[in-house]
């Protein structure tokens, strides 16, 4: 079944290249440049936005979850973990933080003062775990929001430059440059699939965690991505 993941990504690349041949070279080139600019914006903004989301909306739920925990008991770390919001256990697995790892870090941050302990657990343990999955979600949302703007501007500029490249050459060049554009779409979809099957391991339809992670594409990415790549960390869960 894993081959369906590879086929889906391949279809997206080919279909994008075909549509790009209809758009023509100039419009597709502008869109690819726009995608590069989007990547730069996402790389610069996704982490700060994720940190703000955690500090403003998530941190309080973490400290509140610690209120009823007796930190003098032997199994306090387990109690803290059990009292965490349900999304935490699911989200933490995306970047390789298992339950025992989290509980060890919780134990390392327990002190005599309750408020200090709650703050340290939220800031030193949970925050680093959730920031990267949050940044992935923020990146996907930013791409989905900025992508239509790029399409609109590309269409507008292409209209102003219409006729500079004509005939079959325009279509062939559009198809050629549409391939990297399709790869970008395929990577975005792959990231989305990875996120979904980590949150919901049973997945949906034919796509579950085993199917996605056993696909040729995921294995290829795992072999060739840089060691510190965020995507690689997601793939190696």
Residue 213: domain span: 1-24+165-237
Domains: count for the chain: 2
Six token digits for residue 26:
């100039």
More confident of the two residues 90 and 117: 117
Residue 207, SS3 per DSSP: strand
pLDDT of residue 17 exceeding 90, the answer is: yes
Task: State yes or no: pLDDT of 11 exceeds 80.
Answer: yes
Specify if 39 maps to a domain.
no
- Domain boundary pick from 110, 142, 174: 142
Locate 81 and state its tokens. 């973990």
Tens of pLDDT along 163-216? 555 556 778 888 998 998 898 889 888 878 877 777 776 767 777 777 877 788
| Residue 130 maps to a domain | yes
- The whole-number pLDDT of residue 228 equals 42
C-alpha distances in Å from residue 6, one per residue of 187, 212, 213, 216 = 11, 9, 11, 7
Dihedral sign (CA 42, 45, 47, 50): negative
Question: Is 222 within the bounds of a domain?
Answer: yes
Same domain, yes or no: 119 and 190: no
Judgement on whether residues 16 and 57 belong to the same structural domain of the protein: no
Backbone conformation region of residue 113, classed left if phi is above 0, alpha if psi is from -120 to 50, else beta: beta
Task: Supply 233's token pair.
Answer: 């960390």
Together in a domain, 70 and 113:
yes
Same domain, 59 and 132: yes
The two structure tokens encoding residue 5: 């993941």
Do 171 and 234 share a domain, yes or no? Answer: yes
Query: What are the helix (H) ranges across 54-126?
Result: 59-65, 76-83, 86-92, 99-108, 114-120
Last residue of a domain, one of 111, 142, 173: 142
* Domain match, 58 and 118 both: yes
> Which run of H or of E encompasses 21?
helix 3-23
Domain-located, residue 83: yes
pLDDT of residue 166: 57
Asked if the structure places residue 119 within a domain, the reply is yes
Q: Are residues 79 and 109 in the same domain?
A: yes
Looking at the structure, tell me whether residues 122 and 58 fall in a common domain: yes
Q: Report whether pLDDT(10) > 90.
A: yes
Q: Are residues 17 and 54 in the same domain?
A: no
Do residue 12 and residue 81 come from a single domain? no
pLDDT tens for each residue of 46-104: 889 999 998 888 888 778 777 777 777 777 777 777 776 666 655 555 555 566 767 67
Report CA-CA distances (Å) from 11 to 6, 111, 149, 192: 9, 55, 24, 17
Residues 60 and 118 in one domain: yes
Report if residue 62 sits inside a domain.
yes
In a domain, 29, yes or no: no
Are 116 and 60 in a shared domain?
yes
């Amino acid at each position: 079944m894993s081959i369906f993941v590879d086929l889906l990504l391949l279809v997206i690349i080919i279909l994008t290249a075909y549509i790009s041949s209809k758009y023509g070279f100039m419009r597709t080139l502008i869109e690819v440049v726009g995608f590069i600019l989007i990547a730069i914006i996402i790389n610069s903004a996704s982490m700060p936005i994720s940190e703000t989301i955690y500090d403003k909306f998530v941190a309080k739920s973490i400290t509140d979850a610690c209120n009823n925990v007796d930190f003098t008991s032997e199994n306090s770390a387990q109690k803290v973990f059990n009292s965490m919001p349900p999304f935490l256990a699911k989200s933490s697995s995306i970047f390789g933080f298992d339950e025992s790892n989290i509980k060890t870090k919780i134990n390392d941050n327990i002190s005599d003062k309750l408020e200090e302990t709650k703050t340290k657990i939220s800031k030193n343990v949970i925050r680093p775990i959730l920031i990267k999955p949050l940044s992935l979600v923020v990146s996907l949302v930013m791409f989905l929001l900025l992508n239509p703007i790029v399409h609109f501007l590309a269409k507008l500029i292409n209209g102003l430059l219409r006729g500079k490249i004509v005939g079959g050459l325009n279509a062939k060049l559009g198809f050629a440059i549409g391939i990297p554009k399709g790869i970008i779409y395929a990577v975005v979809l792959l990231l989305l699939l990875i996120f979904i099957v980590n949150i919901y391991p049973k997945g949906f339809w034919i796509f579950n965690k085993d199917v996605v992670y056993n696909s040729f594409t995921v294995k290829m990415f795992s072999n060739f991505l840089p060691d510190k790549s965020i995507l690689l960390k997601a793939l190696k869960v």
